[in-house]
Amino acid sequence: MRTATGATSLFSRNLRKHYPIAVRGEGCWIVDAEGRRYLDASGQAAVVNIGHGVPEIGRAMAEQSGRIAFAHTTQFHSEQAEKLAARVLAIAPRNFRDDGRVYFTSGGSEATETAIKLARQYFLESGQPSRYRVLARRQSYHGSTLGAMSVSGNVARRAPYAPMIPEWGHVAPCFCYHCPFAKTYPECNLACADDLDMFLRANDSSTVAAFLFEPVVGATLGAVPAVDGYTARIAEICRKHGILLIADEVMTGMGRTGTPFASEHWGLEPDVILTGKGIASGYAPLGAVLVSPRLVEAFEKGTAAFMHGFTYQAHPVATAAGNAVFDYLEAHSLFERVTPTGQTLRKALAALESHAHVGQVRGLGLLQGVEFVKDEVTREPFPKEADIAEKIRQAALEKNVLVYPGQGCVTACAGTMCYWRLPSLSSRKNASSSPIPCNMR
């Protein structure tokens, strides 16, 4: 409850900021306590895939809650969790479909933590106890808990906690617009993928358990998809060194990029997939770790007991939300609609490209980003102090449009991008005036 002076009792994300109270959601719109309507142009943080305020989701959650809201996973499974696990596996890459399993969490960070520990224990079960390090890429984000931070390559988000997190190793991202090797695709011959091989050769690969990466980099780079050939080369390197491949699809999973999981764009079959966000479309905190059969088998032949757990894992009401969202996705053919709607969005955003400070419009399906540069010829980023992403966010907000800003896509601090689903700001005069839906509907 706010006090009479408008003060809050919440420990906010930023104690200097004032946060309006969101009271209602309707499709692409969020309405605050003052009656102001915001166009949610990014589904918040790429979460609300089916839109706000879909009544059947709340009904399904209430129904489950009325039957049984909680049963501890050391003693029970629930119908909702069983059903959702089977449905998620049925749309996963082929290698998960026969005898894969799903471990439900309460969000993406917990999914990353789970995957890190799963990879470690897999090698204990398989008689390779020296393997524990999980490598990842620079300019990546895998969550905010300490284990997830240790793999995240987002320098700004890591910095305050650097003394508390191990550095297991980070390799180059696949980011052609600012290629870390100053090369050009395809003549580069995928130097960024080979960076993983070089790192493994130079840094005792016998201690490495897994490589974790985002097939389309979301929060840190602003919707940067892997180039063709990259994921296949990465998979080959992982196989060669005997390490697991983990795809972080917390943002890209459950249809966001036009296939149920982005890995499928390249026929990739990772050992583990993480997902979250869209799986319950924000109606409940839910994440998931998809575990491929060969890992399941190693556990079955070994101790069979994963030394890990959360009180709220596989929560019946959260998984009921997941099932209701899944029903909605199927009933409205939303998986199929992402690619054509993404093309419409891309066409609209293309109008921005003629702006002197728009470096690139990029993305896959309905995960699209716009990178702003100081100089479009040299691709020089704006300095961090210019705070361009925040200024753009503010400018959009003045027009009641919510976007997802980001900084640090070029170096730790510089480089500005925003996830937009709308023709916006300076391009508005050229662009279509009809807004593109913020969600997959």
Ligand X SMILES: Cc1ncc(COP(=O)(O)O)c(C=O)c1O
- Give every CB contact of residue 358 below 8 A, 6+ residues apart in sequence: 352, 370, 371, 372, 373, 376, 427
Q: Count other C-beta atoms under 10 Å from residue 326's C-beta.
A: 20
Nearer to ligand X, 100 or 143 (CB): 143
By beta-carbon proximity to ligand X, the closer residue of 112 and 114 is 112
User: Closer to ligand X at the Cβ: 151 or 291?
Assistant: 151
C-beta closer to ligand X: residue 133 or 277: 277
Can you tell me which of 38, 123, 141, 299 binds ligand X, judged by CB under 6 A?
A: 141
The residue from 125, 214, 269, 271 that contacts ligand X (CB under 6 A) is 214
Q: Please state, in angstroms and rounded to a whole number, the distance separating the CA atoms of residues 151 and 129.
A: 20
Q: Give the nearer residue to ligand X in terms of CB position, either 108 or 270.
A: 108
* 314-353 footprint of ligand X as x/- string (CB under 6 A): ----------------------------------------
* 215 in contact with ligand X (CB under 6 A): no
- Residues constituting the chain: 441
* Binding map of ligand X across residues 268-307, x = CB under 6 A, - = no contact: --------x-------------------------------
* Residue closest to ligand X (Cβ): 108
The kind and range of the H/E element at 171 are strand 170-171
- The minimum distance between CB 142 and ligand X, in angstroms, equals 5
Closer residue to ligand X in complex, CB, 121/140: 140
Instruction: Report the site for ligand X in 376-435 (rule: CB under 6 A).
Output: none
- Binding to ligand X (CB under 6 A): which residues in 29-58? 45
- Residue 249 CB, nearest distance to ligand X (Å)? 7
Of 50-58, 140-148, 168-176, 422-430: span binding ligand X (CB under 6 A): 140-148
Residue 353 C-beta: closest distance to ligand X, Å: 25
Closest CA to 263 of 289, 285, 235: 235
Residue 45 C-beta: closest distance to ligand X, Å? 6
Q: Who's near 419: CB < 8 A, 6+ residues apart?
A: 42, 46, 218, 222, 223, 367, 368, 369, 370, 403, 404, 406
Q: Rounded to the nearest whole angstrom, what is the least distance from the CB of residue 151 to ligand X in the complex?
A: 10
Q: Is 369 in the site for ligand X (CB under 6 A)?
A: no
Q: Is 252 helix (H, G, I), strand (E, B) or coil?
A: coil
How many residues bind to ligand X according to rule CB under 6 A?
15
Asked if residue 251 binds ligand X (CB under 6 A), the reply is yes
Q: Exposed e or buried b for every residue in 266-297, given b needs 16+ CB within 10 A? A: bebbbbbbbbbbbbbbbbbbbbbbbbbbebee
**Does position 219 bind ligand X by CB under 6 A?**
yes
Instruction: State yes or no: cis peptide before 186, omega within 30 of 0.
Output: yes
Tell which residue, 92, 97, 107, has the closest CA to residue 261: 92
Among 143, 147, 260, 423, binds ligand X (CB under 6 A): 143
| Euclidean distance between CA atoms 300 and 352, whole angstroms | 54
Rounded CA gap, 31 and 36, in Å? Answer: 6
**Vertex 350: Cα angle to 349 and 353 (nearest 5):** 110
Among positive and negative, which fits the CA dihedral 162, 130, 213, 236?
Answer: positive
H-helix or E-strand containing 342?
Answer: helix 334-350
Nearest residue (CB) to ligand X, 108 versus 408 = 108
Which residues 96-115 are close enough to bind ligand X by CB under 6 A?
Answer: 107-109, 112
- By beta-carbon proximity to ligand X, the closer residue of 154 and 341 is 154
Q: Which of left, alpha, beta for 274 (phi over 0: left; psi -120 to 50: alpha)?
A: beta
DSSP state, residue 247: E
Which C-beta is closer to ligand X: that of 299 or that of 312?
312
250 near ligand X, rule: CB under 6 A: yes
In whole angstroms, the minimum distance from the beta carbon of 6 to ligand X comes to: 28
Q: How large is the C-alpha radius of gyration of the chain? A: 22
The residue range among 174-182, 212-220, 380-388, 402-410 that interacts with ligand X, by the rule CB under 6 A, is: 212-220
Q: How many C-beta atoms surround the C-beta of residue 201 within 10 A?
A: 10
Applying CB under 6 A, which residues contact ligand X?
45, 107-109, 112, 141-143, 214, 218-219, 248, 250-251, 276
